[in-house]
Amino acid sequence: MPDPALLAGQAETFHGQPCIRLSAGNGDTALVALHGAQVLSWVSGGRERLYLSPDAVVDGQAAIRGGIPLCFPQFNQRGPLPKHGFARNLTWRAEGMQAEADTVRLALHLADDERSRAWWPRAFAARVDVALAAGELRVDCTVRNTDAIASDFTLALHSYLRVDDIAQVRLQGLDGCARWDAVADVRGTQQGPITFAGEYDSVFAAAPAPMQLHDGAHRLEIAQSPSMGQTVVWNPGAALCARLSDMPAGGHAHMLCVEAAQIDTQVVLAPGATWSGGQCLRVL
């Protein structure tokens, strides 16, 4: 049995918003906001691994810039809903904290209500599972169609990874994958590792094996479930960053979004059917 004092979750607030902190036995922690079921911080090996903008608006309404936002039931502006859907703008219910072996888990739930139905007239039950173990953070999302008719959606875990200097970063593992460069609107195939010099926004066909983020001496493995058919890689670059009111000048240099996504085709769920997908980050 693990020592419950070493492996726990506890309620706290961040900018007045309710959050739960998960603690693993080795000192790693994660902070999860009920707003958006969004992981705001993941500290592993004494180092913050996620980027949270110091200018993020944390008011229980706006989407929080950073951490791991969930885009659901629509990615970006690929449909009639607000950009990236509404899951990141709503408060989720935390229920189901568990500590087992060396992993602490938190489940957060969201079901349709008046507000969600005003955007999207569908009944659903969504769950985000956050699992923290030594050197590893896993986020899974499960959606059940509780409606009497078929439902469809797109979804992404829009993870903001903290980096020391984007100009020195190398993302490996997408070599040979189909790529849509959303900035230039050009389709092609990725050749070799990805480096960053300016705005970058691309959708890749997901690689069969995990990717590796090289940030100076630091390395992170990024894996996603096979149900997530795409990987989105985004950095706003200096000029777009300067236009984002919730990013500090130069903030782009310290972040890279590597997103597990199912966005090129909709997930279609029959009444009562369930879909799950996730992303796993591991310190190497």
Nearer to ligand TA6, 128 or 157 (CB): 157
Instruction: Mark whether 12 is an active-site residue.
Output: no
Nearer to ligand TA6, 70 or 94 (CB): 70
| Tokens encoding 38 | 């969004």
| Shortest Å, Cβ 158 to ligand TA6 | 6
Distance CA 40, CA 19 (A): 9
| Shortest Å, Cβ 230 to ligand TA6 | 10
| Shortest Å, Cβ 261 to ligand TA6 | 8
Spot the catalytic one: 35, 84, 136, 259: 259
What pairing do the DSSP bridges indicate for beta strands 151-157 and 255-269? antiparallel
Query: Looking at 146-254, which runs of residues are DSSP E strands?
Result: 151-157, 160-162, 169-172, 178-181, 186-189, 200-205, 211-215, 218-224, 230-235
CA distances 215 to 172, 223, 273, 279, 281, Å, are 11, 17, 40, 19, 14
Nearer to ligand TA6, 28 or 259 (CB): 259
Half-sphere exposure of 105 (CA within 13 A, CB side): 14
Nearer to ligand TA6, 83 or 146 (CB): 83
Q: Are 67 and 36 in contact (CB under 8 A)?
A: no
Instruction: Mark whether 199 is an active-site residue.
Output: no
Q: How many CB atoms lie within 10 A of CB 271?
A: 13
| Shortest Å, Cβ 90 to ligand TA6 | 15
| Shortest Å, Cβ 8 to ligand TA6 | 32
Nearer to ligand TA6, 133 or 166 (CB): 166
Per the DSSP assignment, residues forming a β-bridge with 224 are: 279
Binding residues vs ligand TA6 (CB under 6 A):
63, 76, 83-84, 158, 201, 232, 234, 257, 259
Helix, strand, coil fractions of the chain, as percent rounded to 5: 10, 50, 40
Spot the catalytic one: 114, 158, 199, 254: 158
Known catalytic residues? 158, 259
